[in-house]
Chains A and B, each alone.
Chain A
Amino acid sequence: MSIWKHLFSLEERRNWWTRKMPACPLRDFYEVPFPDRDLEWRQVDYLALDFETTGLQAGSDQLLSVGYATVRGDSLLLRDATHILIRPTIDIPEASAVVHGILDDRAAEARSLEVILPQILQALSGKVLLAHHAAIEYEFIDHACRNLYGYPFVCPVVDTLALEVRQFRLRDQAIRSGDLRLANARRRYGLPRYPAHNALTDALSAAELFLAQTAYRSTRRALRLKDLVVVS
């Protein structure tokens, strides 16, 4: 990411791109203001989102599926929970197929990222992106936007992994290997075990973890969005 990030606020950059960009789904996304950072966290909508990919490199790896659902206030709404398969442009490497169970023939029936990305951006507009280890999701969307529309993606982000790191630091606790994994973090909050590696299940898992984390944040003073976001 560039130096601009440090000089201009997220909202300023959103305005900048809105003025600069030709009509495209990304500009539609930028047309809607980001949630106000000073709002109490419950007054904000979040889109819990997860991708299954062929690997971790946004530059070279491909998206295979996306799952997302809205968190409104302190509720996870399953109403618009969505899971979409994305057609990759290369064969699915065997190593990743073992993890996510998405095979070539099934992926072949899926639609292309070109069709799906606008849907994702629309779901995300006006909301905060919520994910566990959100950098991956953020970078894949950014990469896709640059490829398809020629412009970068910016968005407020809440990362449950980062929140978990803060919890450990607040308690002055050493983080051991594996502690920050979604399933292990969930266990600390008494959340049930889900079968992993489905984009929607992982998105819901992260959303529930977020509800648990906020429930456990000390509430002496109002918790604001800016206390939670990582990218701003």
Chain B
Amino acid sequence: MEIELIEIRDFLAAHHPFDQLPDEALDQLPGKLQVRYFRRQASIPESGSIDDHLYLVRSGAVEIKNPQGELLARLGEGDLFGYRASHMEGHAEFTGSALEDSLLYLLQPLEVDALCHAHSQFAYFFEPAGGDRLRDAISHAGEDGSAQLGLMATQIGDMISRAPITMPPEASIRDTAEVMTRERVSSILITEGNHLTGIVTDRDLRRRVVAKGLDTNQRIDSIMTAAPYTLDAADYAFDAMLHMARSNIHHLPILRNGEVAGMLTATDFAQRHTTSAVYLVSSIYKQDEVSGLAAISAKLPQLLLNLAAADATANSIGHVITAVVDSITVRLLQLAEEKLGPPPVPYAWVAAGSQARSEQTAKSDQDNCMVLDDRYDPELHGDYFKTLSRFVCDGLNACGYIYCPGEMMAMTDKWRQPMGTWKKYFSEWIDQPEPMALMLTCVFFDLRCIYGERELFLEIREHLLNKTRGNQIFLAYMVGNALKNKPPLGFFRNFVLISGGEHDHTLDLKHSGIVPIVDLARVYALAAGSQSINTQDRLKEVAAGGEVSSGGAHDLRDALEFVSFLRIRHQARQIRQGTAPDNFMPPDDLSHFERSHLKDAFSVVRTMQNVLSQRYLR
């Protein structure tokens, strides 16, 4: 290359995907370009539809339209079009025209082929559907590398280092203590065959045997904690951590396929225990005052920062942040019960919306409700539950989870009802759907039991899923709802381009990126009767069930992870700058790489919205 083409080389190097090329390839590239000029309003190329040359806008602006004349994209400096145009969605004949006087660089399709062949990072950019490109973007964006965040991704089975130390129930207390001493363990599992019957810890020996002067020849099962809480080896270490913090226990028996697999102890976490999320959660259960909880929740932004800095996936950050509000909710309910006494009839405290889906980021509104046992009598029990729910909702509000503007909260009488009433609600919503009502209540189609009598919640969920599964009429309404939020077309200079050619100054990551995917996943899940709530889980599950193509579901998951990742990064930046985190991202803050991947994400969502609209709204 002539060194004087350095100016063109630098231009290429500053734009995606050319930034993915190694220096030698970049040096060669300018010499392969042709330069073309198109005056304002000229069609590009002159001969009708866009050919397979790769076009790079050096200056000016270009519009791409489909044969129906609909605007598909508006391209500015550094944007690309052309190459493999005939492979793009719809196999349509796209046409280009110069919106302004434009100088374009052209690269022969054979040259692009050769570059793609030699440089896989570069090739990803030209993958047809965008799915692989998004996957690439996500791996680019960061993986769970740190040991701390490993907790979210680590299965408990991988943390258990040794075979379980066990004793039969008929063994004596003394023999058990001897084995524990020899094996240098602070707890031991009591098993019959492979079946777990109980657990004994150092503390039990101290409190139940020594302090009481018990005869150590007695059977060990007389002093064990019978039927202890267990987790499965496939569960995540983070869940174990949360449970141990919540219940203030230090030993957790782990099962694999129902058989004893080992013991997880607090010391297993010792090396990794610095995770601020875990500290935060364990300290929540030590608080006796709402003010203490509020002080902890004030640390959430810092937690988000740490997680973002550690390159956690957006999905795992959602789980961690939501675990904190879950814990605050549970603690508030515990405190309320301490004050008011035990509940007169069983109840379930149920989270709705993003908390239910484990997708909270920076603080958000509270959405919750209460399902009461059908023995509930408003005359007798009304005050108790009103006071209880008021206490919890007020507490959440004090912690920054502000009152839901739509009053979708347990403290609202309408959303604190016995199971029979809830079933009636869902029957009405599902059997006689009304667009307006559905828009308001769709938050109640994402539910997760946080505390209380889980059976109450499960029965409601069973009821509603039975009604929605394959219910074409209801689903058509939900689809209509899901199509309300359309992703933008892409970007043009420092604007967000929305269909019809309008411009926005900021990108609403929530409503134009995340909500459409969440809405799609909800429809799939309700159609399939899936019990998953988290959007990633829903998409994973429905893909296996055939409700949506597995490729489509995979692309949507990648799109969601990418947009969520951008949102977290955006909010982390705002937190660092001391401003309140929001969902509005100026396009200026996006790199070329991110812009092009956002466009991919949008196109995935658009495609899946179209598929759904064709299936249900014809």
Taking Cβ atoms with an 8 Å cutoff, the residues of A that contact B are 67, 74-79, 81-83, 189-192, 194-195, 198-201, 204, 207-208, 211-212, 215-216
Contact = CB atoms under 8 A, between A and B. Distances in A.
Task: Return the 6 tightest CB-CB contacts between A and B, nearest first.
Answer: A190-B101, A76-B35, A211-B37, A200-B4, A192-B59, A75-B34
Contact of A211 (B4, B36, B40): B36
B interface bracket (residues with beta carbon within 8 Å of A) = 20 to 34
B36 A190 contact: no
A77 B5 contact: no
Contact of A77 (B34, B58, B103): B34
Contacts of A198: 4
Nearest to A67: B4
Contacts of A191: 37, 59, 101, 103
A194 B8 CA distance: 10
A82 B5 CA distance: 9
Contacts of A195: 7
A79 B2 CA distance: 10
Contacts of A204: 35
B37 A212 contact: yes
A78 B8 contact: yes
B10 to A, nearest CB: 11
Q: Tell me what chain A mostly uses at the interface: helix, strand, loop, or mixed.
A: mixed
In the complex, which of the residues B4, B31, B101, B103 has the most CB atoms of chain A within 10 Å of its own CB atom?
Answer: B4
Nearest to B35: A76
Contacts of A216: 39
B35 A207 contact: yes
Contacts of B42: 215
A191 B42 CA distance: 16
A109 B318 CA distance: 63
A211 B60 CA distance: 15
A78 B8 CA distance: 10
B115 to A, nearest CB: 16
B32 A79 contact: yes
Given A81-B2, A81-B31, A192-B58, A74 B103 contact: no
Contact of A189 (B2, B36, B58, B101): B101
9 contacts: A74-B37, A78-B35, A81-B2, A191-B101, A192-B59, A192-B103, A211-B35, A215-B39, A216-B39
Contacts of A81: 2, 4-5, 30-31
A190 B60 contact: yes
Contacts of A199: 4
A74 B419 CA distance: 75
A83 B2 contact: yes
Nearest to A71: B35
A75 to B, nearest CB: 4
Interface string B27-61: 00011111111111010000000000000001110
B102 interface: yes
A191 B7 CA distance: 14
Contacts of A74: 36-37
Interface in B89-136: 100-103, 106
Contacts of A190: 40, 59-60, 100-103
B211 interface: no
B37 to A, nearest CB: 4
In the complex, which of the residues A74, A78, A194 has the most CB atoms of chain B within 10 Å of its own CB atom?
Answer: A78
A208 B39 CA distance: 12
Interface in B351-395: none
Contact of A212 (B30, B31, B101): B101
A215 B2 CA distance: 28
A168 B33 CA distance: 32
Interface in B1-38: 2-5, 7-8, 30-38
Interface string B547-577: 0000000000000000000000000000000
A19 B100 CA distance: 51
A110 to B, nearest CB: 14
In the complex, which of the residues A76, A199, A204 has the most CB atoms of chain B within 10 Å of its own CB atom?
Answer: A76
Nearest to B34: A75
A200 to B, nearest CB: 4
Contact of B39 (A77, A78, A79, A212): A212
Contacts of B3: 83
A146 to B, nearest CB: 29
Nearest to A84: B2
A204 B62 CA distance: 22
Contacts of B60: 190
A81 B5 CA distance: 8
Nearest to A193: B59
Contact of A78 (B32, B37, B100): B32
B106 to A, nearest CB: 7
Contacts of B34: 75-78
Nearest to A76: B35
A208 B5 contact: no
A85 to B, nearest CB: 11
Interface string B239-258: 00000000000000000000
A199 B5 CA distance: 11
A76 to B, nearest CB: 4
A215 B36 CA distance: 10
Contacts of B35: 75-76, 78, 204, 207-208, 211
A71 B100 CA distance: 22
Nearest to B60: A190
Nearest to A75: B34
B101 A78 contact: no
Nearest to A191: B103
A83 B39 contact: no
Contacts of B30: 78, 81
Given A74-B37, A76-B34, 19 more contacts: A74-B36, A75-B34, A75-B35, A75-B106, A76-B36, A78-B8, A78-B30, A78-B31, A79-B32, A190-B59, A192-B58, A192-B103, A199-B4, A201-B4, A204-B35, A211-B36, A211-B37, A212-B39, A216-B39
Given A75-B34, A79-B31, A211-B36, A200 B106 contact: no
